[in-house]
Amino acid sequence: MKALILSGGKGTRLRPLTYTGAKQLVPVANKPILWYCIESIVAAGITDIGIVISPETGEEVKSKTGNGDRFGANITYILQDTPSGLAHAVKISQLFLGDDSFIMFLGDNLIESELNKFLANFQQKRLDALILLSQVADPTAFGVATIDLEGRVIRLIEKPKQPESNLALVGVYFFKNTIHSAIANIAPSARGELEITDAIQQLIDTNQKVEADELEGWWLDTGKKDDILAANQIVLDARLKSQNLGDIDSDSNISGRVEVGLSSKVISCKIRGPVIIGENCHLEHAYIGPYTSISDRVTIIDTDIEHSVILCDTKITGIHQRIVDSVIGQRVSMKVSPKRPQALRFLVGDDSQLEIM
């Protein structure tokens, strides 16, 4: 059994952040989303992992994620020259996958459930494909499945205008090697892509065994700013533990679950958890409110922040009207004049400089 993680694409919904970086590397609770996918796969006992990358962000994915040693895995990188669809990503990965069954995991998705029970179902029933489904409020934005009472998949439609159900395809799939011949027998869709929904439908139409399991826990497709913030909140709630590896002075007031990284300094601050602070940060005369993640080497002085994600090497000074519901990129410099608005919300790309007058 192998795994294939898709970490390509252009990430248009997260621009300007994704003009300079991969959306799968945006951190949630100070860990790249992609790494949660890898850890989930390794926890299911699968260590031979292929990661599909794009020309624009592939080198960053490779340099930050490495060869898999840190995860107890062996990672192979596969270049997808153009974003030509999920089924196209499987097609170009066929040399890596060989005749093995595999899990396909979209690298910007997070799920609460462990993969083991789905994997066991897939293997015990000797299925050609097992898809995971979740009920959603707006099925028109997703691939949608129609299933019978026994869990067999009858029909899949990509982003239907009139959905037959509210069951959306989660970005985790289990495939037997028969998916390759199915992909070979489909044509590009109207948007010019090889759709994985069309390939699965080809399996159904040729009487292969395709079933579905419905997720019980949360599922997050982190394609937009608010999705990142929601994922950050959920992960901090579920997994954060209090830990201080830095230096918190006696004038600071800390409550709730707060993690402070190695060599970080907290001076005269008020912090209300859950909050995670990375390594080598400097926080002074600041308020850090719940559901905030601060990456490594960040400086925050005379500033109030809550429910936000701050990426590494950013400097924010002199902002007292709270920054809320924001995602701020790497190496950003922000400051504000004395005349301030009541609230500030940002989505700021890497290497930006903001001076609010």
pLDDT in tens, 30-69: 999 999 999 999 999 999 999 999 998 899 999 999 999 9
Q: Which pLDDT value is given to residue 319?
A: 83
Of residues 239 and 288, the one with the higher pLDDT is 288
Task: Indicate whether 76 and 203 sit together in one domain.
Answer: yes
| Residue 129 near residue 174 (C-beta atoms within 8 A) | yes
Question: Does the pLDDT value for residue 136 go beyond 90?
Answer: no
Q: Which pLDDT value is given to residue 355?
A: 59
Q: How far is Cα 169 from Cα 144, in angstroms, rounded to an integer?
A: 6
Mean pLDDT of 270-298: 97
Q: Which pLDDT value is given to residue 352?
A: 66
Most confident of 20-24, 28-32, 174-178: 174-178
**Of 190, 210, 235, at which residue does a domain stop?**
235
Q: What is the CATH number of the domain that holds 347?
A: 2.160.10.10
Q: Residue 339's pLDDT band (boundaries 50, 70, 90)?
A: low
Alpha-carbon separation of residue 172 from 105, 177, 269, 278, 303 (angstroms): 5, 16, 42, 30, 40
CA dihedral 302→226→345→240, nearest 10 degrees, is -10
Q: Which pLDDT value is given to residue 15?
A: 45
**Which domain covers residue 351, as residue numbers?**
242-356
Nearest Cα neighbor of 345 from 324, 330, 328 is: 324
**Of 235, 265, 286, at which residue does a domain stop?**
235
The pLDDT mean for the chain works out to: 89
**Of 235, 261, 283, at which residue does a domain stop?**
235
Task: Indicate whether 41 and 113 sit together in one domain.
Answer: yes
Task: Indicate whether 94 and 32 sit together in one domain.
Answer: yes
What pLDDT, in 10s, does the model give residues 237-275?
Answer: 988 999 999 999 999 999 999 999 999 999 999 999 999
What 3-state DSSP class applies to 107?
coil
Question: Does the pLDDT value for residue 350 go beyond 80?
Answer: no
Q: Give this prediction's pTM.
A: 0.87
Q: Residue 99's pLDDT band (boundaries 50, 70, 90)?
A: very high
Q: What is the CATH number of the domain that holds 198?
A: 3.90.550.10
